[in-house]
A and B are shown apart, each in its own frame.
Chain A
Amino acid sequence: MDKSTVPAIELRGICKYFGKIVANKNVNLIVEKGEILSILGENGSGKTTLMNMIAGIYLPDEGQIFINGEEASIHSPKDAFTYKIGMIHQHFKLIDVFSAAENIVLGIRTKGKYDLKKEKESIRQICDKYGFLIDLDKKIYEMSVSEKQTVEIVKVLYRGADILILDEPTAVLTPQETVKLFAVMRAMKEDGKSIVIITHKLNEVMEISDRVAVLRKGESVGSVMTKDTNPEELTALMVGKKVELNIERSEPKDCEDRLIIRDLNCRNREGAKVISNVTFTAKSGEIFGIAGIAGSGQRELLESIAGLQKLESGEILYNDPTSGKQENLRNKTPMQIRHLGVRLSFVPEDRLGMGLVGNMDIIDNVMLRSYRKGHSAFLRRKEPKSLAEKIIRDLEVVTPDAKTPVRRLSGGNVQKVLVGREIASAPKVLMVAYPVRGLDINSSYTIYNLLNEQKDAGASIIFVGEDLDVLIALCDRIMVICGGKVSGIVDARTTTKEEIGLLMTQTGGEEQ
């Protein structure tokens, strides 16, 4: 065989089981040299599992992996690196208290003394080559999500990976960062490297990849050349049926000021200003979008409203529609806010770290909001149980039963449980942060529909998003923040992606 036509990776009949759960079944896949291959599939269709087997995290139960035409057995990420395979995981595998440089060199055994200075020099060369901006001495825990991702990518490149696997890399990036990432990917492709990218965003698939391989329920359903296909066809392949890809947007009605934020200021633990002079009003019956580069203060803003951040100054005024009274939520604990009768729901960004308890089952997680009800010292699991079953039914959560710990569910299903619970209390204000991050098309549209239902029911929805297309299609108004400051509030019906993109980088003065 001619060496140049040998595929970089070939999978034959790969199967992987987790107990009774079939994650992958008879998967055949080819990654050519010097191509960008997208892997598409719904949540739980086994994309990540499959890639983990190439990266040495899991071992296939059946089937063979060929790297450059030779059968390989990859038992650890270290083995994967000897085959020049590197994977950037969805959940970063970095050590928080180490600096970027320390994380990058971690685990590489070099001859001679450990010389971080010298290593840093060579890391810097890689950064310069591909145009990464990164402070090598910065500790990971001080970094934003996108910075962490950069560290992960540089780490893999530093180890000389020829085959890169990126698990939903754009989920945490701004449009500008995505453009940059894609440029890097194209440059690497020019170098002859093979890149596999897992993403849910069809427009990105169309933009970046040469070929698309689709998985459905753990099985490969084939691959198509990107230039010969379109988003509709891909969705149909992925879901197995045709799906409407339009977000309906109703006209807001009965709008009244629900939540008035005035001159909010907040510092983080290090004393840096994360929110400065933020002022806006969220109205009932509308979806108020918040756009901005990751780490511009979105999280702190929502947490301030939810009573989880200490504020420096400012007012958070809530107009209670039932009593007509105005309450100030500033510096109140979540408990005090509840006691005021404020029906505030919050879907935080970090689902398993904040919104849910991974080791508890769905019933107990649904109960988190309501367990205090009543004067009894004991829990009542009856209503939570029926609510859990209702959420599973209505939102089509894929789970063996309601007694399954949520950490065993796939990302999309975890999110459905969380959103389902937060919506169940018929909120007057519903804050959602990146609610479709990591979710497939079907689940994403389920979430959008749920938000629209809540909007029509008169809730005031604050939607922090990253996909500008979605923000523009779903929201009524969009506030753009940059470096903790409001750089503008635009009408979603008339704005453009370019306008928002510009605002996203405007006021901070820092060039990204």
Chain B
Amino acid sequence: MSHVAPHMEPPVRLSKRDVMPTWKGILVRIAGILLGVALSSLFIVLVTDLNPAEVFTSLFDGCFGTPRRIWNLLQNTAILLCISLAVTPAYKMKFWNIGAEGQVLVGAAATAACMIYFGNTLSPWLLFPLMIISSLFAGMVWGMIPAFFKAYFNTNETLFTLMMNYVATQVIAFLITYWENPKGSNSVGVINSATKAGWLPYLFDKQYLINILVVLALTVVMYIYLKYSKHGYEISVVGESENTARYIGINVKKVILRTMALSGALCGLAGLLLVSGSSHTVSVNTAGGRGFTAILVSWLAKFNPAVMLLTSFLIVFFERGAAQIATSFRMNESLADIITGIILFFIIGSEFFLNYKLNFRHSKKKEG
């Protein structure tokens, strides 16, 4: 038939893979990172006249160079991991919560409020429980507001949670002027710097150890919660199919509210760890975009808390390393961002090869 255009078989075509053995998956991911490193080296050579080897040494140096840097790396990983764990139940339920940033901020603000108002009057035995409860509660409320409107009025949770971030930022901005110390600095300053009231204790003299341990414990709990608890099971069912959930008698509204309460509360906890466990102050940048990065961490790990240990570490590692590159070579911050970007691109790109297979064209004999 002449009207049919001759079709060439394309040189490569995609097909979906079966489940890949774990070791092979890990190899693909490592290959992805190596390729990312290679490409960013090329980039470094082409754009700057630096030696890529030196640049990457400085990357490692930035993360592991001194004990302090190692602790900073771990602390940042812990916080990012905490927020990632917090958003995971919501995402598993297909509730697109991009409001972790705001939930962390209100948790941080609640912690700071407790430290400012009760730091010098309550004994630590009362102060810490109060801080924990109020930070959890603040985050929970911030998470439940959009959940309530989603459950009862089917509002769009993505827009709602996003807008709640702005509200949270404004609330903090107001509180900062209100709590300003010293006057005119437009910042809260270190809270209770003299008495250290409400500061999380230094375990074995290590400032961040308690944060790290709390988050590790949380990882285990979250893993068990999602995989082995009835709640976790309900979250999966609601996330996969609301109709099925209704059919077997799950109260969908209740699950949405409960899960977002949990998600928000854990974000609030991250706020507590940030204020009471590390910075001892609060600002609009306290969450520092981690509420968004956490989404990436959670998805990359396919909602598996154990894998999140790895993904959060990886992302913090490159972030901190890249920052070090920028300072030690007096480069623009953007260089660091570009390197992180390239490597992240490859990490995410390897997911593609885990799910799809490339089939190259066989050299077929020509037939009439």
B229 pairs with A377, CB closer than 8 A: yes
B170 CB–A CB distance under 8 Å:
no
CA distance A184 to B324 in the complex (A): 73
Chain A residue at smallest Cβ distance from B357:
A19
B251 is an interface residue with CB less than 8 A from chain A: yes
B residues 292-332 near A (Cβ < 8 Å) are none
Chain A positions within 8 Å of B247 at CB level: 306, 308, 334, 346, 348, 354-355
Select one of B8, B236, B246 contacting A357, CB under 8 A: B236
> Which interface residue of B18, B228, B248 has the most chain A CB atoms within 10 A?
B248
Interface residue B351 (Cβ < 8 Å from any Cβ of A)? no
B244 interface hit (Cβ, 8 Å): yes
Residues of A within 8 A of B244 (CB): 353-357, 368
- In the docked arrangement, what's the CA distance between A356 and B248, Å? 10
Q: Which of A338-370 contact B (CB under 8 A)?
A: 338, 346, 348, 350, 352-360, 364, 367-369
Q: Is B233's CB under 8 angstroms from A354's CB?
A: no
A254: B residues at CB distance < 8 A: none
Q: Which of A59, A67, A338 contacts B249 (CB 8 A)?
A: A338
Our pick among B7, B16, B243, B248 for the contact of A72 (Cβ within 8 Å) is: B7
- Please give, as numbers and ranges, the residues of chain A lying within 8 Å of B16 by CB-CB distance: 18
Assuming the contacts A308-B247, A353-B243, A357-B241, asked whether A379 and B7 have C-beta atoms less than 8 A apart, the reply is no
A108 within 8 A of B: no
Q: Are B1 and A68 in contact (CB under 8 A)?
A: yes
Partner of B237, one of A337, A338, A368: A368
Q: Is B46 an interface residue (CB 8 A)?
A: no
- Check: B333 CB closer than 8 A to any chain A CB: no
Query: Is the Cβ of A360 less than 8 Å from the Cβ of B240?
Result: yes
Q: A20-B18, A308-B247 are in contact. Are A357 and B230 (CB under 8 A)?
A: no
CB-defined contacts of A318 to chain B, threshold 8 Å: none
Interface 0/1 of B201-233, CB less than 8 Å to A: 000000000000000000000000000111111
Q: Which residue of A lies closest to B224 (CB)?
A: A378
Which chain B residues border A377 with CB–CB below 8 Å? 229-231
Minimum distance in angstroms from B73 CB to a CB of chain A = 35
**Interface residues of B, CB < 8 Å — how many?**
33
Q: Could you tell me the distance between the alpha carbons of A426 and B58 in the complex, rounded to whole angstroms?
A: 68
Task: Give the contacting residue for B230; candidates A20, A306, A358, A379; CB below 8 A.
Answer: A379
Closest to B10 in A: A75
Residues of A with C-beta under 8 A to B49: none
Known pairs A359-B240, A367-B233; A335 contacts B228 (CB<8 A): no
> Do A335 and B241 contact each other (CB < 8 Å), given the known contacts A82-B5, A371-B233?
no
**Contact indicator A71/B367 (Cβ below 8 Å):** yes
A169 to B97 Cα, complex, angstroms: 41
Question: What sequence of 0s and 1s flags, for each residue 77-101 of chain A, a beta carbon within 8 Å of any chain B beta carbon?
Answer: 0010011000000000000000000
Contacting pair B251 A335 (CB below 8 A): yes
Q: Which residue of A lies closest to B237 (CB)?
A: A357
**A333 in contact (CB, < 8 A):** yes
Encoded as 1 (CB less than 8 Å from any B CB) or 0, chain A from 361 to 391 comes to: 0001001110110001111000000000000
Known A333-B249, A334-B248, A335-B249; judge A73-B9 contact (CB<8 A). Answer: yes
Residue A177 at the B interface, CB < 8 A? no
Determine the distance from Cα of A334 to Cα of B5 in the docked complex, in whole angstroms: 57
In the complex, whether A70 has a CB less than 8 A from a CB of chain B is yes
Known: A73-B9, A354-B243, A371-B230. 18 other contacts (CB 8 A): A18-B18, A20-B18, A75-B13, A334-B248, A335-B250, A348-B247, A353-B244, A354-B241, A358-B241, A359-B240, A360-B240, A369-B248, A371-B233, A372-B230, A377-B230, A378-B230, A379-B228, A379-B233
25 interchain pairs, CB-CB under 8 A:
A18-B16, A19-B18, A59-B15, A74-B7, A75-B7, A75-B10, A82-B3, A82-B5, A306-B247, A333-B251, A334-B246, A334-B248, A335-B249, A337-B249, A338-B249, A354-B241, A354-B244, A355-B244, A357-B240, A357-B241, A358-B240, A360-B240, A364-B233, A378-B228, A379-B233
A interface residues, Cβ below 8 angstroms from B:
18-20, 59, 64, 67-68, 70-75, 79, 82-83, 306-308, 333-335, 337-338, 346, 348, 350, 352-360, 364, 367-369, 371-372, 376-379
